[in-house]
Structures are given as structure tokens and as C-alpha cells.
Structure 1
């Protein structure tokens, strides 16, 4: 990949410690690249666009403060998913109001309050879109699968659904996100979901989010 080659050239100009850090970052990314491509392809259904997502994910990874990333594979998967969904939202923007980017960047304690607020607002807007257009089951499966790349077997265990049913719900969710339908959204429930989603994305601890989504499905 040309991007990787360019960064190795840059790494050669740094000290040994920096070279080791770059080599480690490159190794992590190369190992994750097939999964990232699969994420992009699953969301976009286009190999060229999926490859673009992988390359943009590399650029984000190269610029990130990796010292604060708890789980590099999770960070890369989240970034690729967010970028892929942004592509679909950009295409949809020509015919409907955009939900905007809806997956947060990794937590960065150095960001300004304004930036943090903007990220939260983006997530708030997008989750509201999911709640308005999807059933609780569709939303739960879609978030776990598309945002956190859960395998269908694990999703079926959390939500007490069959694997085939979970796959069908993801397909239905994609179709429903392209419609104009609106469900009424509870303000209290929405705020709780946004708060729980952000905490899961930022800390990597998804236990509370799993419980909340499962409870929504069984209500």
C-alpha cells in the first residue's frame, strides 16, 4: 500500500524509538486491514469505496494519539465503520437530510470543550435517526454489528435472537434507513442510549450498552 510505504520513509528520518513505534503501528494496521476492508465492503457494497475507507482509516490511525488507544483493533474498526457510514450518508444527502457523522473518534483528553460538544451532537443526531427509522431490534442489531463489529453469534446471544434473524434485521435496517419514516422517540430513552453508546465507544466496555439494547428488544 503506497500510504504505508510513504510513512515508512518518514519513519526512517526519526530516532530509533520513533521507528519502533511506527513499525508497531504499521504492524497493527496491516493485521487489521482485511477486517477493515470487510467492514467497508459490508456497509458500502463497493470494493473501490471500501478500499478508500481502508486508506482513510490508515491516515486517521497515523494521526491519532495511539498512547491513549485502549484497543487498537476496536479503534480501527470503529473508525472504518464511521467513515463507511459517512460515505453512505454523503450519497443520501442528495435526496434527504443527512444525519452527519455518527461514530465518535477515540477519546482525546486534549480536545476542546467545543470539539467534544460537537462530537456528542453528531452522535446524538445519528442515534435519533436510527431510533426514528428502525425498530428496537433493528437498531440493536445494527449498532452492535455495524458500530462494534460484533459477530452474529454473539449478537444472537445478547439479544436472544437466531443468527439468521439477526442477519435479516441488519438487512432491514439498511433498507429502513433509506426511507423517510419516523417513529416517535422518547427523550429520556434517547438520552440514555446516547450516553451509554458514547461511554462504550470511548472506554471499550460494552456491557451496559449490551444490557440496554437487549432490554429495548424485549420490551
Structure 2
């Protein structure tokens, strides 16, 4: 259970989901009480601290938006939700590029694809990058691209972006939330084209240094 999540639960003004997610019906107290068990479930399934924390965070979002008046056993509900979410993450780990807001890209350059497939892939990347530019801050976008599209470990993300590992995890959680809830903002066409071009080159050649540099530069602006 992360400190930032505990702090958000302690402050009703920052709680996600519907307005009844605060202390009125004991939702926060029930969740905090179950959190250690939920984290343990995530760790047993995923064996990764960051992924387990993400699953616990997502469980809270589900719990905050649930009609708790029909839940007979909050601990059982929370444990079942966490288990299902963790299993979903485990099952989709190899398909992260397909299930994220990012594009569908091969692990290594695929020179056998035809022009039609290449065009479809380019369109998918353009749409995905536009979504990231519309809804995420430069920091959130950088973490999201490196983690979700290229499977970077948090330690490496922290090194590239000069942030702490815990902060990188927090930025990914924020990015996921903003992708699901935020309204789009205008996108700079030049920035969009530059990121698409650099992203595609990284995926095609395997040379990620230019992409790292671009993301870090955007973060510093």
C-alpha cells in the first residue's frame, strides 16, 4: 500500500469515483483495513511491487465507484476484485502494446510486413500519440510510453527522466486515470509528428536513445 494512496484516502476532497466514496459509509476505512491483504494478493500473482501497487490502486477506483449498499462483505469483494485485476494484468503482460493506449508494435523490427500493414500501424501510432498528447502532462506521457509501450522497468525510467522510482509509479497511475477521465486538450501538430516519427523509429530499429532524449527534453520544458 503506497503512501500517496493512503494520503488521498485521508482527504475526501481528493478521492476518485462518486462522492459517496468518503468516510460516510466507511468505504475508505474498509479499503485501508484490507489494503495489506490486497497488496499481498497482487504480489503473489504478479511478483512485482509496481504492478501490485497499480492493481491495488485500480481496486480502490473500482471500490470508490461501486454501489456499496449491495456489497455483503467488503473484504471479500475487495479481495475478489484484486485477484481478477491481477490475473488480467498477468494474462495481458505479453500483449501490453496491444492493450495499452499505445500502438501495437513488434518486440523486434519486422521487415516482413507489407505496405498495407505498415500503413495501418502508422495510423494506430498517430492516434495513440495524439491521445497521449491531448490528455497527459509531459512527465506522465514519458513514463507511460516507456513503461507501457517499451516495458521499461521503473528503475530505468527513473534514470532517464531523473525522477524517483516511486514518483515514476505515481505518474503512471495518474496517466492511466487521466486517459480514462480527462477532456482532450489541443495538440501541437509539430510536436505530434515529431513524437510519432521518433516512436516509430525506436520501434523499428530498437535504438531507444532518441526517444529517451525527446521525452526527457519535453519533460524539462
TM-score by length of 2: 0.58
- Cross-structure match for 2:75: none
> Structure 1 runs of 4+ off > 3 angstroms?
36-45
How big is the alpha-carbon RMSD for the aligned residues of Structure 1 and Structure 2? 2.9
Partner in structure 1 of residue 98 of structure 2 = 83
1:214 aligns to 2:220 (yes or no): no
Q: 1:37 to 1:130 in 2, by over 3 A?
A: farther
Task: Name the SS for the 1:178 alignment partner.
Answer: helix
Residue 40 to residue 83, structure 1, CA distance change in 2 (3 Å): farther
The aligned length equals: 148
How far apart, in 1, do the equivalents of 2:92 and 2:51 lie? 6
Post-superposition Cα deviations, 1:119-154, rounded to whole Å, max 9, x if no partner, equal 000011011101101001100011111211222222
SS in 2 for 1:117: helix
Instruction: Map Cα deviations across residues 36-94 of structure 1 (whole Å, 9 max, x no partner).
Output: 9969986887244235436xx5xxxxxxxxxxxxxxxxxxxxxx211332xxxxxxxxx
- Give the greater-gyration-radius structure (CA): 2
- Of 155-164 and 116-125, deviating more is 155-164
The residue that corresponds to 1:162 in the other structure is 164
Q: Which residue of 1 aligns with 2:189?
A: 187
Matches within 5 A, 1:1-219: 46-53=85-92, 57=94, 80-85=95-100, 102-105=103-106, 106-219=108-221
Aligned in 2, Cα 1:201/1:37: closer, same or farther, shift over 3 Å? farther
Gap runs ≥5 in structure 2 = 1-45, 59-81
Is the alpha carbon distance of 1:50 and 1:169 closer, same or farther for their aligned partners in structure 2, counting shifts above 3 Å?
Answer: closer
Whole-angstrom CA distance in 1 between matches of 2:89 and 2:164: 28
Q: Report if aligned partners of 1:81, 1:147 keep a CA contact under 8 Å in 2.
A: yes
2: CA distance between counterparts of 1:108 and 1:52? 24
Query: Unaligned regions of 5+ residues in structure 1, if any?
Result: 1-35, 58-79, 86-98
Q: Is the 8 A contact 1:134 1:173 kept in 2?
A: yes
Which TM-score applies when normalising by structure 1?
0.59
Secondary structure class of the residue paired with 2:156:
helix
- 1:110 Cα deviation after fit: 2.8
Separation in structure 2 between the aligned mates of residue 164 and residue 204 of structure 1, nearest angstrom: 27
